[in-house]
Structure 1
């Protein structure tokens, strides 16, 4: 056999020796994002489902602690009170943190969704489905808590068929009697503006953002602080879905139209308009004086800058739910 033939044969043998066996092929070569029809459907509904579940978890913790603290003051429900006002603050703060932690892609706060669309380039086409999902999350979360505390509510009210504003306030917000309409609106406006300022600061890469994974903890502290400092007078709705979802539930289960007629349609201008307008004001304040990212409307190039093809630096869009319709 010639030398060339020997070299070819050795080369062929080496090729055979190093060729991987079929069973040794890397497993990643056969991974697909959609192994079945459900996985493809799940991908399509993942974001709305996250908003739904996040708010649902928030409401379960929040209205749950309201029920436990208030209903336990009746000796027919419990032998003694099971909590105080600070317990309510902790319950809502934990609900916010757990809602965000459970579905970390979610914003869970309707006003935050709106503020991100106005100031951070969040797609407007997603805003309606996000808000609807958040609203349904509030309804379902309240329904689960109502079913859990149904008998305790009946004892507290004095009968199975009795449902009044005494217990409607366990699910949605009602201002204290001495508050004027203007004062009610201002209370929700202020708390919501504070929430958005802090949320935007937490999401600003140039303003010491929290380490990865710690956003829910900071939201816990934020909601705890707002509740402990500004929550007494109106119940700090600070999230339209947090109030409207449970309010709709109460009107479905026997509380009637009183949940809407309270103080001349209070439900519209205080726990809905107050948070929305407060969030827009808080977002405008932060962006006008602190935020330098290109996505904000306050940093859009003027005519002179456009001529020179200049623009503000891009920043990474926030992943954490700015507290996010957190509440």
Structure 2
């Protein structure tokens, strides 16, 4: 018996221009989202296992997270086990499970970042030009590096800032932090540092597209520095001086590097400050011409206007007859 060959599915034609209909855009978006979510789920499972069981030559994720708290002196931490082991306090039955799940989800998001960033990249690039694709990939890579650098700095300054906070009034109380409180504090610090480190990248992007120039900011460095320190003082979750100064100095240095890039890029593209921006209002507007006299008034022609003929009123008899004829109760001969 001869085997029937199944017809092959036609290959999808290539689309070099990147043009797609709305339905194709939605299908492409669904495909990218499914792949990203699957990668995040796999990363979350790995992070959930890594929280307690680490690969060889690596520390468990839970040990890494509680490191700044365990680095505090023994007299600043409450001893719940009696053997001097560093432990965080749990006050509800599901707190330890939820803490482990949150840490695993955060680790999964970080571990799966190359996958979902690549999916975003593949979804955006069909509608961009070749040079725009190169810049987009560069900006995404730099954004990831800056966020990771800010998160690492937040982790290393946490033990110093935590020591300052825990030594305030330690004569009367001892620190007994719960896992949820400590994790929320660490997460807030990491996110604030990571997002704040993206500010120089935004400045560079605004300069490349021509909105921000070096001439606009070179005389406002002192004001910008003061605003950065105010931002750091308000946004740091613990308001300790060590974390505030570390965040403010780091952002100031990165912003200064971004300004120097703007200066170099403006010189490269021969961007100069317009001359009218250095003039006052009278010089920028130019000389004002003398007023011109107003000419005399001219007479308007008076042509004869024909008046419409007056409308003659109908005779009372005709009106009455028409009313009767409209009513339909009399003879129409009277109307004629």
Instruction: Output the TM-score relative to the length of structure 1.
Output: 0.23
Which has the larger Rg?
2
